Amino acid sequence: MIGYLFSGAVTPSIQALAVLAVAGTAAWRIWVAYRKTVTQEKERTSRLTHALDGASPPQRPEIIRACSLLESAARASSDDQCGHPPEPAETSAASPPDRRHTRRGGR
């Protein structure tokens, strides 16, 4: 198909249109995937904020771990339905939290 498209049998305007269509389709797919990710992250943040609302500071780490486990379980079950292998859980309730992604000062 590509060889035929650029063999000279197709006019340059049709070639340009084909290239733009392919590039436009790729850009559209990337944009849709990006918006899906942004929406999912907003939903996760909203759920976590709602769960932490009114919680005392000593309760917060356990609430965050519980939300993380629920999110990873939900991701694994939705991946199973789509035929994708489940991702390993990032942290477990028994393991200490990962400190690489926290702000300085422990906040």
Inside any domain, residue 64: yes
**Domain, as residue range, for 69:** 56-83
Q: What is the pLDDT of residues 76-88, one digit of tens each?
A: 887 766 555 555 5
The winner for highest mean pLDDT among 8-22, 26-40, 79-93 is 26-40
Does the pLDDT at position 20 exceed 90? yes
The pTM (predicted TM-score) of the whole model is 0.55
Write out the two tokens for 48. 């976590």
Inside any domain, residue 68: yes
Write out the two tokens for 53. 């609302």
Mean pLDDT, rounded, for 38-59: 94
Give the number of domains in the chain. 1
Inside any domain, residue 96: no
Inside any domain, residue 78: yes
Inside any domain, residue 25: no
Inside any domain, residue 5: no
Does the pLDDT at position 62 exceed 90? yes
Q: What gap in Å lies between CA 66 and CA 12, rounded to an integer?
A: 58
Inside any domain, residue 20: no
Mean pLDDT, rounded, for 17-35: 97
pLDDT band at 74 (very low <50, low <70, confident <90, very high): confident
Inside any domain, residue 90: no
